[in-house]
Each structure stands twice: as structure tokens, then as C-alpha cells.
Amino acid sequence: MKCPFLTEMTVVFCRAYPIRKFVPKARVQTASPCNHEKYVACPLFQEISRRLKEIHEEKAELEEGGKALKAGGA
Ligand code: SF4
């Protein structure tokens, strides 16, 4: 028999935020930018997106450099 205080609920959290804060899904407001296409205006979303873009660009540059080295016979 389980404790009567034990309960289950669906929660949501932001993967971009450094600390995981679980919010019951029922408490997320429909007007929240997280739950709407306005998420693109979120400063956290913009910062993480910028960093991811930089990482992809750096990776592409490194791969190009590696290809150039191989083509040069190194
Ligand atoms: S909108 Fe911002 S706070 Fe909301 S989930 Fe996206 S990154 Fe996180």
C-alpha cells in the first residue's frame, strides 16, 4: 500500500536553464512564451541558439581544416 501523499503529475522544465526546475504542466500558463511561438523572443532561447550556432560554425571550420590537411597530404 502506498502512502496517501504520494502522487504523480506531468511536469515541464526548460532544458536551456542551468537549474532544472520542474513545473506541473497544469500550472504552465497558456500565455507563457515557453508554450507559444513567442519563445523566439526569450533571452535564454536567443543566447542558447547563438551559442549552438557558434559551435556548429566552429565544427564546420574544423572539419574544413581537417579536409584541407588531408588533401595536402599531411
Ligand atoms: S522560452 Fe526560454 S525559458 Fe521557456 S523553455 Fe524556451 S528557453 Fe526556456
**In this predicted model, what pLDDT tens digit does every residue of 4-45 receive, in sequence order?**
999 999 999 999 999 999 999 888 877 888 988 999 999 999
Pocket test for ligand 1, best of 23, 32, 45 (most atoms within 8 A of CB): 45
Would you say the C-alpha torsion 32, 38, 40, 43 has a positive or negative sign? negative
Residue 74 has pLDDT above 60, yes or no: no
64 in any annotated domain: yes
- Rounded to the nearest angstrom, the distance between the alpha carbon of 33 and the centre of ligand 1 is 7
29 in any annotated domain: yes
- Rounded to the nearest angstrom, the distance between the alpha carbon of 31 and the centre of ligand 1 is 13
**For residues 1 and 52, what is the distance between their CA atoms, to the nearest angstrom?**
47
6 in any annotated domain: no
Could you tell me if the CB of 12 is within 6 A of ligand 1? no
Could you tell me if the CB of 16 is within 6 A of ligand 1? yes
45 in any annotated domain: yes
Full-model pTM = 0.74
Helical residues (DSSP H) of the chain, grouped into ranges: 43-71
Q: What is the pLDDT of residue 68?
A: 86
2 in any annotated domain: no
1 in any annotated domain: no
Q: Residue 56: how many CB atoms within 10 A of its CB?
A: 10
Note down the domain range covering 53: 11-71
